[in-house]
A = this chain, B = another copy of it.
Amino acid sequence: MTNKNNASTFAKGLRVLSCFETGRRDLTMAEVSRLTGFDRATTRRLCMTLQDDGYLHKADRVLRLAPKILAIAGGYLTSNDFGHRVQPVLNQYAEEFEGEIALAMQDGDRAIYVARSAISSARVSFGFSVGSTLPLLPTAVGRMLLAHGSDADQATALSGLTPERYTPETDMDVGSVRSKIETAAKQGYAFVRNEFEMGAAGIAVPIGPIGASPAVLATTASVNQFDKPAEFDRALDVLRRAAISLRA
């Protein structure tokens, strides 16, 4: 049954394009064909279209995204005034904090870093940059986003998500995670340690929706750092003030 309001070929093309989200450097057309389940010939045609349009570049059979995709991402950032309005605030508070601060938003069943600022000596958490995605359940970012979605969105997200183990300390009990999300909603911040990355902890505070999506500010540091109450309070304070700046 064809959905008349949908262009299935375009949808397939987007599916191919999304194979490159992971940043893999070894994708061949054959591998894309396996990832998508599309016939090789179909995959090839869609990849060729992306190449002809300048979105993909091929060298030695390996396909890579080209910078052109950033122009669309730039359109997103521009339309929400991230450069002018958000980045300077993040820069300011990252400097004050002497660490990193990131703004993340929800995209379906995951979180996406939308903007980020870090001083040069800040820990590089997984090499995350703009566009990196995070799971919702084991991260402060994710839980804070869920805490601030509507109840319906939250229920939908939670029922569709299965906890996945990232570290020995990842909370795998849905009820427990739900409870932590409620706590985050009540106290106005989320704090997660050792559940997504051993030795790392994250704090997130809400800044209300941007466009149609919930958004939060977050910072990460080593568990050692945030286990010191003064450091924790300082980080939370910085995040909250930055959030206030962004809401004005």
Contact = CB atoms under 8 A, between A and B. Distances in A.
Among A5, A10, A81, A213, residue most surrounded by chain B Cβ atoms (within 10 Å)? A10
Contacts of A25: 79
A70 to B, nearest CB: 4
Given A87-B129, A91-B118, A45 B14 contact: no
A211 to B, nearest CB: 6
A52 B76 CA distance: 17
A6 B41 CA distance: 11
A125 to B, nearest CB: 9
Given A6-B52, A48-B6, A75 B67 contact: no
Contacts of A22: 75, 78
A77 B45 contact: no
Contacts of A11: 49, 52-53
Interface in A91-131: 91-92, 95, 105-108, 112-114, 118-120, 122, 124, 127-131
Interface string A1-26: 00011110111111001101111110
Interface stretch (A57-65, A136-144, A172-180, A229-237): A57-65
Interface in A170-208: none
Contact of A59 (B81, B92, B212): B212
Nearest to A86: B129
A108 B14 contact: no
B118 A87 contact: yes
Contacts of A57: 211-213
A46 B46 CA distance: 16
B7 A49 contact: yes
A73 interface: yes
A194 B213 CA distance: 39
Given A70-B131, A74-B131, A83-B128, 5 more contacts: A10-B12, A10-B49, A54-B107, A67-B105, A74-B133
